[in-house]
Structure 1
Amino acid sequence: MDYSEILYASEGGIATITLNRPDRLNAWTGRMHQEVKAAMRAAAEDEAVRVIVLTGAGRGFCAGADMQNLQTIQGGETRAATQAEAPFDPASAADFQKTYSYFPAVPKPIIAAINGPCAGLGLVISLYADLRFASDAAVFSTAFSRRGLIAEHGSSWLLPRLVGFANAADLLYSARRVSPAEALAMGLVNRVIPHEQFMAEVMAYAGMLAREVSPRSLREMKREIWNGLFQTLGEAIDSANADMAGSFVSEDFKEGVAHYVEKRAPAFTGR
């Protein structure tokens, strides 16, 4: 796919997807949705890529759905047409086959590098990432209640699991602006980084994952964590026990032991 609303780059085991409508604070469009999905597939299928970073161009991450598009939705018209698209991975759990819930089906860690304002659908997109790092110039809002909308695209399920019921209710009901410090305190983001060092520190962390840990472990752990949200403790234990045998015969397990014993940098293959 030719990209017109995102940028895609791959270097050092890191694929960087940049939402690229800076004049609109990277407001989300149908075209951007398709381009991000295509870029995620390109990163997933590229064996050289081990980590994916999603960020925004200019001073914003994503201000939500483009308001010009929202103005075209009238009467009984809905965005239901987007629900009919093919799933990212038909073999994934049904919960990860919805329009925006496919990030968990991408078999590599996704880091949302939230460099600025992150609102509405932009916030939902970030919730589906595995990790969220925020610049101290970021600001967060669910926005939906101030547009006469509902808790869109699974945010009513995701937010309570990330920040607890009370915080989720506050964020959704009020749609107030939340600072990076408050977002960190409630668990909405993993880390807040000074804006001047933001992308350098994000890429340093992503580089650590790309170089120092097993891609196979990352792939399997991501699957375990997301599937675990739908399992009992016993089911999660049984599933992990069933997966353990495969780990013991993997190339990455052998390399994990060898590089530790030999006191050298690892050379994981992901197999």
Structure 2
Amino acid sequence: MTTTAIELSVEDGVATLRLNRPEVRNAIDDATRGAMIDALEAAAGDPAVRALVVTGAGSAFCAGGDVRGMKQRLSAPPEDVAINGWRRQARTHRAVSLLHLFPKPTIAAVNGAAAGLGCDVALACDFIMAGEAAHFTMSFIARGLIPDGGGMYFLPRRVGLARAKELVFSGRRVAAQEAVAIGLADRVVPDADLPAAAHGWARELSAGSPAALALAKSVLDRSLEMGFEAVLAEGSKAQAICYTTAEHRASVAAFLERSAKR
């Protein structure tokens, strides 16, 4: 699947969603929001896809929201600015929610800048792998805005509340090595190795039962908002489903067969 704004390809069970506006450092405009929603829905529903890598074309991961679009929006009649923004936020939140709730492992392969909404998109993934030249910035403050793509939910869960406040209030740039040191990113690799390394990690993470992975992810993503007993209860329901899967049955049969031969 390829649109003007998004490229989606699948190789060896790993889908790669590439933001494809390199001339504006993959800034996200309204068309990109819609194309991202379509691509994520397609990849989530494709049984051939076992994991997802999100990256950017050219020299940047994503420079954030399209500032030219912001200027056009502000030229609307004053009484329309707020409701238009509310509608646009709904589309942004739909895209980020699809990424966060994607029922398979997700990796942001951050090449170059992940700024503003681009940083939020990276944070919505399960894991972040950064190239050596990558950098992150919650740059919303420089536009008189607040993080609106889930960053105020995801960032404190990665780096802690005080650190998240510091990064949001200052809007400062965080280089790849510091990002790993503070928990903002998970791994750093040479820039030239980033695509292959992210693809390989995605294959490794998605080698297990697709049902078990999806169910474990669904519980883990909610576990910080639940008490101990609620996590156990959700885990029990998920495990009951796992008991019925072909992967579980095959694994038990294979184990017993190996044991019988010893």
Same fold by TM-score greater than 0.5: yes
Moved more, 201-210 or 164-173: 201-210
Matched, 1:80 2:86: yes
SS in structure 2 opposite 1:59?
coil
Count residues with an aligned counterpart: 252
Partner of 1:100: 96
Give yes or no for contact 1:142–1:171 (8 Å, CA) kept in 2.
Answer: yes
Tell me the distance in 2 between the aligned counterparts of 1:33 and 1:11. 24
**Residue number in structure 2 paired with 1:185:** 181
2:250 counterpart of 1:255: yes
Query: TM-score normalised to the size of structure 1?
Result: 0.86
Q: Pick from 125, 141, 147: which aligns with 1:145?
A: 141
Cα displacement string for residues 24-81 of structure 1 (whole angstroms, at most 9, x for unaligned residues): 1101111111111111111111111110111000110000011101112324514212
Whether the 8 Å contact between 2:33 and 2:95 is mirrored in structure 1 is no
Q: State the distance in 2 between where 1:98 and 1:34 align.
A: 9
Please list the CA deviations of residues 193-238 of structure 1 after superposition, one character each: whole Å capped at 9, or x if unmatched: 111211111111112234x311111111111111223211220011
The 10-residue stretch of structure 1 (233-242 or 48-57) with the greater mean CA deviation from structure 2: 233-242
Deviation at 1:149, TM superposition (A): 0.9
Q: Percent identity?
A: 35
Select which of 216, 219, 225 maps to 1:221.
216
Q: Which runs of 5+ in 1 are unaligned?
A: 88-96, 264-271
Structure with the largest fraction of helix: 2
Q: What secondary structure, in the 3-state scheme, does the structure 2 residue paired with 1:8 have?
A: strand
What is the match of residue 230 of structure 1? 225
**Is the contact made by 2:63 and 2:118 (CA closer than 8 Å) also made in structure 1?**
yes
Distance 1:258 1:57, change over 3 A: farther
Structure 2 Cα separation of the partners of residues 163 and 207 of structure 1: 26
> What root-mean-square deviation, in Å, do the aligned CA atoms of Structure 1 and Structure 2 show?
2.0
Taking the aligned partners of 2:38 and 2:48, their CA distance within structure 1 comes to 17
CA 61–261 in structure 1, closer or farther in 2 if over 3 Å, else same:
farther
C-alpha contact (below 8 Å) 2:37/2:94 kept by paired residues:
no
Given residue 30 of structure 1, which amino acid in structure 2 is its aligned partner? Answer: D
The answer on whether the counterparts of 2:124 and 2:150 sit within 8 Å (CA) in structure 1 is: no
TM-score (norm 2): 0.89
What are structure 2's unaligned runs of at least 5 residues?
none
Name 2:6's counterpart in structure 1.
6
Residue 108 of structure 2 contacts residue 125 of structure 2 at CA under 8 Å; is this kept in 1?
Answer: yes
C-alpha distance in 1 between matches for 2:5 and 2:144: 27
CA contact (8 A) 1:104 1:223 kept: no
Q: Which residue number in structure 2 is paired with residue 132 of structure 1?
A: 128
| Distance across 1 between alignment mates of 2:145 and 2:229 | 38
Give the distance between the partners of 1:34 and 1:259, measured in 2 at CA.
45
Partner of 2:193: 197
Residues 18-97 of structure 1: pairs in structure 2 closer than 5 A: 18-74=18-74, 75=78, 77-78=81-82, 79-83=85-89
Matched, 1:123 2:149: no
Moved more, 56-65 or 244-253: 244-253
Among 236, 239, 247, the residue aligned to 1:244:
239
Q: Which amino acid aligns with 1:53?
A: V
